[in-house]
A and B are shown apart, each in its own frame.
Chain A
Amino acid sequence: MTEMAPRDGAQAGSEAGLRAWLLSSTPSSAFQARCQRVYLSWRSFSRNPIAMVGFLIILLLLVVAAFAPLITSGDGTSQVLQDRLLPPSAEHWFGTDQLGRDIFDRIIWGSRITLYIVALVAVIVVPVGLLVGTVAGYLGGWVDAILMRITDIFLAFPRLILALAFVSALGPGLENAVLAIALTTWSPFARIARAETLTIRNAEHILAARVQGASTGRILLHHVTPLCLSSVIVRLTLDMAGIILTAAGLGFLGLGAQPPLPEWGAMISDGRQYLLDQWWVPTIPGIAILVVSMGFNLLGDGLRDVLDPRSGEG
């Protein structure tokens, strides 16, 4: 590719120089042009306070997951049976559970599991959805009919039920739960990608690519996919809450992450019999799920305003 030239920006050093570099109307490299695009999107995104709240929550989740060993005292699985069911205190911020494990530690370590699930699902679902959707939308005809009927079959079942069926077939466990969630989540992405593709497949820039002699694969990858990506990303962010909840639901039913892994849904399940007397045991993981789900939703709403081509030029 073309040479990357961050030097002009790095050299300037000062904030004003960077700003000028980011806002210059004559970018001198592809790298600068992309940075400018990101920067302008970020500027309009950061003007939306609610979206920023979502962004900060997700940022916090990432930081906490990355620095879990520094924040916690153990790995969240060590049992101290004489400290069972202690209420929140200075020593145990969120209290302890029925096996004397520190709930704060478990929540922090659990954030890694949540992120692991979410990231893995995204990595499976986005390419599959994009591939199916763009191919169906661009080629049309019987390819479209077959691919979309398959998509419809997956769309027709409630997500948790379908995930349950898959997990019972595949056997319980975190990886299988991720696989089951991915299998039940990709179909709306295919629909979105197809809808986007239908609106752009006769656009003049796609025709222009055909007249340049571009192959169908190249058009799908280089011309169609970039335009579907933003709505898919928005949808993914908004779907994150659902993915987390499904994962938690599977965990709650004992079909997801297995003990002693500190998965939030499983933590609620384990602690549910203490709800009345030791409320913190099931409630705190519940709050964690709520906060992270909400964070993704707020972030998704903000991203939609920035990325969605229909809401104006970025």
Chain B
Amino acid sequence: MIEVGDLTVTFGTGARAVRAVRGISFTVAEGESFGLVGESGSGKSTVLRAMAGLNRDWGGRMTVAGQPLGKTRARAFYRSLQMVFQDPFGSLHPRHTINDILGEPLKIHVIGDSETRILNALDEVGLGPEYRFRFPHQLSGGQRQRIAIARALIINPPIMLLDEPTSALDVSVQAEILNLLRRLRNEHRLTYILVSHDLSVVAHMCDRLAIMNAGRVVEQLSVERLRAHEPDHPYTKQLLRASLGYDRAAAENLEWFD
């Protein structure tokens, strides 16, 4: 479904160039849920943005559903791939009603019957029709993120890119959103690429994951291996240990990987 080969992304030019992604490759099968895990600056979000066409300064190969991707994306491309962003307070236009927000993809892709589709999409993410004419600031963080998911879903894309979709939410709301994403994936047979810094979120959501550090994939492993605490790479081991909570011994023995 998705093939990424030797992807590089560079910001800036000349001496000040920053190589955010340094040649990574992975494939994601249809219907699979794939996690990209890493700390800040590892390049994990940059990969997603390059796939979504938000960054044109990339090299290498990317193929989505058999179609090789170029630097610019045709409008039709976005019917096969949609994205959910991290910040539920920033990803909805503050002056648009929920109706405008959900109707926008339908207008862009000239899809009719918007009223039914909008009400369906709201229902799909567990919100009633009474939310339709509210503004984003009248909604809670979790409700906004549901709207962002509904907006991505409304044109029925087979692939969803999820960029830290719950990291700005409280744990109880995170649980609801994660459950929702899992249900939608089952119902619509979606392919997910989930970017997160949180190993337990990725373990909960994904079948397979890649650990990124400093622009490279240090290791790809199945979620079973992660659960069994059996990663191969020392960086993954350290990340796993640090994410289990405070551990004095681990803090004393941190290593740096570049």
A–B contact (CB under 8 angstroms)? yes
Residues of A within 8 A of B (CB): 2, 25-30, 32-33, 37, 203-205, 207-215, 218, 222-223, 226-227, 309, 313
28 A-B pairs within 8 Å (CB atoms) are namely A2-B115, A25-B138, A26-B130, A26-B131, A26-B133, A27-B134, A30-B99, A32-B133, A204-B86, A205-B90, A205-B93, A205-B94, A207-B49, A208-B83, A208-B85, A208-B91, A211-B83, A212-B82, A212-B104, A212-B105, A212-B155, A213-B109, A215-B75, A222-B104, A226-B93, A226-B95, A227-B94, A309-B94
Contacts of A223 in B (CB 8 A): 93
Given A208-B148, A213-B77, the answer on whether A203 and B90 have CB atoms closer than 8 Å is: yes
A30 CB contacts on chain B under 8 angstroms = 97, 99-100, 133
Among B135-179, those with CB < 8 Å from A are 135, 137-138, 148, 151, 155
Provided the pairs A208-B148, A210-B54, A211-B52 are in contact, do residues A29 and B133 lie with their beta carbons within 8 angstroms? yes
- Contact yes or no, B135 A33, CB < 8 A: yes
B78 at the interface (CB under 8 A from A): yes
CA A313 to CA B75, docked complex, whole Å:
34
State the CA gap A309–B73 with chains docked (Å).
Answer: 33
- The answer to whether A213 touches B75, judged by C-beta atoms less than 8 angstroms apart, is yes
- Interchain CA distance A37-B138 in the complex, whole Å: 11
Chain B residues positioned under 8 Å from A27 (CB to CB):
133-134
In the complex the two chains form, is B90's CB within 8 Å of A33's CB?
A: no
Kindly provide the distance from the CB of B128 to the nearest chain A CB, expressed in whole angstroms: 9
Q: A210, B53: Cβ atoms under 8 Å? A: yes
A21 to B100, CA, bound (A): 21
* Smallest CB separation, B65 vs chain A (Å): 16
The listed residue with most B CB atoms (<10 A of its CB), out of A26, A29, A211, is A211
Give CA–CA (A2, B155) in the complex, Å. 20
Known: A211-B78, A212-B82. 20 other contacts (CB 8 A): A25-B138, A26-B133, A27-B134, A29-B133, A33-B97, A33-B133, A204-B85, A205-B93, A207-B85, A208-B148, A209-B104, A210-B53, A211-B82, A212-B78, A212-B155, A213-B73, A214-B108, A222-B104, A226-B95, A227-B93
Q: Are A213 and B85 in contact (CB under 8 A)?
A: no
From A28, A222, A313, contact of B137 by CB (8 A): A313
In the complex, what distance in Å separates the CA atom of A223 from the CA atom of B105? 13
A-B pairs with beta carbons under 8 A, tally: 85
Contact with A along B36-60 (1 / 0, CB 8 A): 0000000000000100111000000
In angstroms, Cα B223 to Cα A143, docked, is 48
* B54 touching A204, Cβ below 8 Å: no
Is there a chain A Cβ closer than 8 Å to B219's Cβ?
A: no
In the bound assembly, the distance between CA atoms of A307 and B78 in angstroms comes to 34
Contact between A211 and B95, CB atoms less than 8 A apart: no
B87 within 8 A of A: yes
Q: Nearest CB to that of B77 among chain A residues?
A: A213
Interface positions, chain B 183-222, Cβ under 8 Å from A, are: none
Query: Is the CB–CB distance between B97 and A211 below 8 Å?
Result: no
In chain B, residues 68-108, which have Cβ atoms closer than 8 Å to a Cβ of chain A? 73, 75-79, 82-83, 85-87, 90-97, 99-100, 104-105, 108
Inter-subunit contact A207/B97 (CB<8 Å): no
Q: Taking A207-B54, A207-B85, A210-B54 as contacts, is the C-beta distance between A37 and B135 under 8 angstroms?
A: yes
- Among all A-B residue pairs, the 7 with the closest Cβ atoms: A213-B78, A204-B91, A27-B133, A26-B130, A33-B133, A204-B90, A213-B75
Give min CB distance, A62 to chain B, whole Å.
27
Once the chains bind, are A218 and B133 in contact (CB under 8 Å)?
Answer: no
- Closest-by-CB residue of A relative to B88 is A204
A33 to B131, CA, bound (A): 11
Cα separation A227 to B82 with both chains bound (whole Å)? 24
Q: Are A227 and B95 in contact (CB under 8 A)?
A: yes
Given A204-B85, A213-B78, A226-B95, A33 contacting B54 (CB threshold 8 A): no
Chain A residues near B76 (CB, 8 Å)? 213
Q: Is the CB of A211 within 8 A of B133?
A: no
Closest chain-A Cβ to B124's Cβ sits at a distance in Å of 17
* Min distance, Cβ A38 to any Cβ of chain B, angstroms: 12
Bound Cα distance from A96 to B138, whole angstroms:
58
| CB-CB nearest in chain A for B92 | A205
Q: Which residue of B lies closest to A37 (CB)?
A: B135
